[in-house]
Amino acid sequence: MVQTMIIPAAGYGTRMREIAGTGCKELLPVGGRPAIQYALEEALAAGISNVGIVIREGKEEIRDFILRSDATVNLRKRLDIHFLYQRRMSGECGAILAASDMVSDRPFLVHYPDNIVTGIPGRVTGMLLKEFGEVQGDILALSPVLDTESFASARPMGLRRLRGNLFRLSPDEIPVDFAYGLRTTGVYLATAVFMDACRELVKSGMSVEIKDRDAYCLLAARGCDMHGVDAGQDILDTGSTKGYTNACDFFRSLEY
């Protein structure tokens, strides 16, 4: 049973500096609450009990908000929240690797706080958990492409439909267009082989910015199957200035 969610929040937020300034982009308000709060609420709604939030030195503002804010009282009571430090800034894979002791060799969920799930809380995570029971391997949430300019970091990936809303991913393929009008997101379920791939890439020192996709490409080259599930609802990417603005506009539109 999957009981742990990792929330990587150690990044520098370079793309968001215009809006966040010297503050943490994870605490920028979206729809009336900080972005990172949505990830915690998703974990709670999906029945996840343990959450590891990966930060770095200088981002204690995130820890202080979660531990002291009135808005997170219920989350603190019902979730076992741990704060983990990323000591070596080596990109997304480095953030995941910082949680290796917490997850050990068990499967775990990852939810980047700048990916905000709309619709029913827990539904997307629940779909990942359900499909994991079938495929027993790494599986990513897929979301409709709303505006490709807002998702520059989510390059198209090879997809092949297996059945219904389940796809096989080919992370080493970069098609011209987004197949089926879907993009990968920062919400996924990973296994020990993914953690091992992150460890190998970070140890190799291949780059100072090692992406999740680099780990997926490594696994694909070794014959590991990776899957994606169409979440059937929007997962808003607030990791860029335009994406953040679009997300705020989306939530404002719900008020009318």
Largest CA distance in the chain: 52
- For 4-253, which CATH superfamily applies? Spore Coat Polysaccharide Biosynthesis Protein SpsA; Chain A (3.90.550.10)
Q: How many residues does the chain have?
A: 256
Distance CA(14)–CA(89), nearest Å, equals 14
- Residue 17 has a pLDDT of 79
Is the pLDDT at 148 greater than 60, yes or no?
Answer: no
For residue 91, the tally of other CB atoms under 10 A from its CB is: 24
- The pLDDT tens digits of the residues spanning 235-252 come to 999 988 888 999 999 999
Sign of CA dihedral 95, 99, 104, 110: negative
Contact 132, 107 (CB under 8 A): yes
In this predicted model, which residue has the larger pLDDT, 172 or 164?
A: 164
Using one digit for the tens of pLDDT, what is the confidence trace for 190-213? 999 999 999 999 998 777 789 999
Closest by CA position to 10, among listed 67, 79, 85: 85
Q: 137 is written with which tokens? A: 């391997």
Tell me how far apart the alpha carbons of residues 216 and 189 are, in angstroms, rounded to a whole number: 12
Integer-rounded Cα Rg, in Å, for the chain is 17
Q: Report the C-alpha gap between 53 and 55 in whole angstroms.
A: 6
Q: So what's the pLDDT on residue 22? A: 78
Of all residues in the chain, what percent carry a pLDDT higher than 70?
A: 96
Least confident segment among 6-10, 108-112, 222-226: 222-226
CA 157 to centroid of chain Cα atoms = 17
229 or 147, which is more confident? Answer: 229
What is the structure's pLDDT at 149? 44
Task: Identify the residue with better confidence: 184 or 232.
Answer: 184
Spatial CA neighbour of 146 closest among 96, 185, 172: 185
Per DSSP, 232 falls in state S
What's the predicted TM-score (pTM) here?
A: 0.94
Query: How far is it, in rounded angstroms, from Cα 11 to Cα 90?
Result: 10
The type of residue at 147 is D
Average pLDDT, the chain: 91
Q: Where are the domains of the chain?
A: 4-253
> Of 13-17, 80-84, 131-135, where does mean pLDDT reach its minimum?
13-17
